[in-house]
A and B are shown apart, each in its own frame.
Chain A
Amino acid sequence: MLDPAIENFLSERKAARIKKNLKPGISDQERRAIELEATEFFRLDNWLPDAAKRAGWLSMLSHPGKFTHPSAKTSAIIAEARPKPDGFLRTGNADTDLDVLGNAAALDVHKFLSLTLTDGQTVLAHLEQTSAAIQTQFELSTLPFSELQQGLLAIKQSSDTAKTSEKIKQVYFPVGDGYHLLSILTPSGLMFKLKEAINVLRFSDEAKQAREDRRHQVHNEQGFAELYNLSVIGFGGTKPQNISVLNNQNGGTAYLLPSLPPQLETRAIQPPKTGFFSDSLYYKHYQDSFKALHRLLMVNHNTIDIRDGRDYWISSIAEQIIEKVWQFRQLPPGWSDATNLPLAQKIWLDAAYNEQRENQDAWLDEIIRAIADWFYIAYEKTVGKDKAVFLGDVELAHIRTVLGAMQEDLR
C-alpha cells in the first residue's frame, strides 16, 4: 500500500495535468489518450525515477546568499549547531525549516520529499535513514532503490568547494594576532520562524478573540500579547520566487523588531526665570511616581521589600529630574545670566558653569536639600494634603540620604 500522502500527491498532480490538457470540444478518444498519458506519467514507477533525476537541480540549504543580494551565488550551506541555553537567537536554538534554491521545474520534487508520511516523518527523513518503510514504498520495477535514494538525496549535496561572493558582506574579525574573514549569510528558516511566531501573536484566532473581548471589556482567560513598532522588509520585490522557496512561501517579506533607544525630549523648552523647582517641574508629570510611593508609605509593616520599594520610587523621581536638568544644559551657555536663579541652580543647569559644577561641592549640597524640600511639597500636592502621610524629620532625612547616594548622578 502506498502511503496516503504519496498517493494524494500523485493523484492531485495527475488530475491537474489532465485538466490542463483537456481542451473544449475534443473527442472521447483524445480525452482517453490524455488520461492514459497522465496515469502513466504519474505512476510511481515512472515519476519517481524522473524526480530522482531532477532532485539535483535543487539544493536545500539553511543560509541562502540571495537574501543579501539577488545575484549573490554562495555555497549551499546546511548549518548544524546544537541547542544551548546561551542567550542567543541563532541556528540551533530554534526548530527551523531548510530553504530551497534552484530550478523552478523541480520544485515539485522538494514538495514530494517534504511530504509527511503516516508515521509523522517526512519522505526525506526516511530516505536519509534508509528506513525499511521507505524501501518498501519505493520498490520499483524501473530503478533500484539505492540509485533512487542517491538521486533524490542529491538535493542535500553541497558542492565540494566553498564559494562566497563580493555581494556578501565579508567581515574581518580579530582573532589572536590575526583575523578570520566571515561571510555573513541570512538564516532564512530562522527569520521566517520569527515571522511565524509574530503572526501567531497578531492573527491567531485566540489572539483575535482576546482583542475583541478587550474591545468590549469582556474577560478573556488567556489575554493576548502585542508587539509594537514592527517594520517589514521585502526580498525580491514582485518576484519573491527568485530569492528562495521559503521567501516565496512567505510572500517575500519578513518582520524586523525595533532596536531603538527611547526618544530624548527635544521639544523647545522654556528655561526657568526665578527658580527651577517652581518654574520647570510640573507636579502632574510626577504624579504616578508619587502615588506609587504613597501606596508604600501607607503600608504599616516595614520589610526590606517595602523599604527597597520606597527607595526605588524616590530615585526614579530623582531620575526624572536629572533628565530635565540635561535639557537645560543643552541650551546656549550663559542663558541663566538673564534670570534670577540662585547661584547653585545656575551652576547646576547652565553649561557656562561646567567647570564649577565639576570641581565644587557646596552648590550640590544646596541642590540636594532643595530637592528634598520639593519632595515634601510635591508629595502633598500630588497625593492630596488630606491623604498624604506626614513626612517627619526621619522621613526627610531618609530622602536626603537616598538623594545623597545619587550625588554624582545629580551633579
Chain B
Amino acid sequence: MNRFLIIPHVKIHNANALSSPYTIGFPAMTAWLGGAHALQRKLCAGQFNGLAFTRAAVACHSIDLQTYKGRGDYVHSIVGTGNPLDKNGERPSFIEEARCHLSVSLVLEYEGVDQDDADAFLAAVETQLSTLKLAGGDILEFKKPELLKVNGADDLAKLTRKLMPSHVLKERRDLMIEAMQNQGGDIDAVTALLDYLTVRHRSESGEDGQTEWTAKRKKNERKKTGWIVPIATGFHGISALGSAENQRDPDTPHRFAESLVTLGEFVMPYRIKRLDELLWHSHYDAENHFYLIQQHSKEKYHGK
C-alpha cells in the first residue's frame, strides 16, 4: 500500500520556465522534487520528524509561458521583467529569464506519519506550503490538501481521477537510448533528440505523375509514442567533488554540474496504469556522476 499527500490546484506565479539551456516551458523535474524536499525539511523541523516524501508527481492543469510571437515571426521571444537600475541609474546588462504561470496538483508519496496525526499533518502542510516557493515561483493559492491510500491498480484510478483534467510527465528516456544505440558508435545526442521533435515533410510521386507532400512525426513502431517533449531530469557532475570559493554552504561537498536533458511524454493521468509511470524519485549514480530525477530504476536501463 502506498500513502499519498495530494495538494490540489497550486497556482504558481513566475516559475522558472528555463528548465535547461536547451528547453523552455514546464519547470524541470529537479525543481519540483527540490520543492517537495524543502517542504519535507520544514515539516521535519516541526512535529513530523519521521516524515519522508519518497516519490512525487506533478499534474499540470494549465501553463502560461511568458513568451511573445509577432505575426510572421518564426520564433517566440521571451517577455522580460524590468531589472532594477544600477548605481549610475543605468540598466545593467543581463541574461534573459524565462517565466511561466501555472496551476499544478502535487502528489507526494510519504511515509513516517502516524495516521492518528493526519489532521495535524494536513494543517502543518497548509501552513508550511504557504511560506514556500515552488519551481522558483510564488505560490499564490492552493486547494485543501488531502491524504489518500492507494492499494493496487483499481485504487490507482482513484488517485489519477483526482488529477484530471491535466497532463503528467512520463519518462521516455527509453526512446532516446534506442535512438542513440541505433547511431552505431558515433553518438550524437543532438540528432537523437531532434529526431523525435521534428515534423518531416516528404513527397511522393504517384502513378499519375501527381506529387503528394505529407507531414509526419517520428513514430516508434514497437514503443507507443504520444506527445513527446524534451525534459530536464537531472544534473551531470563535470568536476571532482571538493570545495569551492563562494559556495553557499562551506560544509557540503561541492562540484560543478550541467543539466541532463532527455525525452518525456505528457499524458492525461487516467491513462497511467502503474504507479512507477506516474511517480518520480531522486537517484545519485556515482559511477556516471549523474544526479537524477527518474521514474524507472537503474536496472531498467542497464539490464541488471
Contact = CB atoms under 8 A, between A and B. Distances in A.
A120 interface: no
Interface in A170-193: 170-176, 178-187, 190-191, 193
Interface string A226-257: 11111111111101001000000000001111
Interface in B203-247: 203-205, 211, 213, 215, 227, 229-232, 235-239, 241-247
A171 B293 CA distance: 13
Given A181-B252, A262-B266, A87 B190 contact: no
Interface residues of A, number: 101
Interface string B114-126: 0000000000000
Interface in B27-65: 30, 34, 37, 60-63, 65
A179 B244 contact: no
B238 A81 contact: yes
A256 B18 contact: yes
A197 interface: yes
Interface stretch (B127-135, B138-146, B175-183): B175-183
A227 B164 CA distance: 30
B158 A224 contact: no
A259 B200 contact: no
Contact of B201 (A90, A186, A226, A256): A226
A255 B77 CA distance: 10
Which of A85, A227, A326, A358 lies at the interface centre, i.e. has the most chain B CB atoms within 10 A of its CB? A85
B242 A162 contact: yes
A139 interface: no
Interface in B49-106: 60-63, 65, 67, 74-78, 92-96, 98
A28 B79 CA distance: 58
Size band of the interface chain B makes with A: 35 or more
A89 B201 contact: no
A93 B187 CA distance: 6
A225 B25 contact: no
A260 B227 CA distance: 9
Nearest to A161: B245
Interface string A87-129: 1111101110000000000000000000000000000000000
A180 B291 contact: yes
Given A190-B21, A190-B190, 20 more contacts: A63-B256, A63-B258, A69-B94, A93-B187, A93-B188, A174-B282, A183-B244, A183-B255, A183-B256, A194-B194, A197-B190, A219-B204, A225-B201, A231-B76, A234-B78, A260-B26, A262-B227, A266-B62, A409-B270, A411-B157
Interface of B: 18-19, 21-26, 30, 34, 37, 60-63, 65, 67, 74-78, 92-96, 98, 154, 157-158, 161, 164-167, 173-177, 180-181, 183, 187-191, 193-194, 197-205, 211, 213, 215, 227, 229-232, 235-239, 241-249, 252-264, 266, 268, 270-271, 282, 284, 288-291, 301
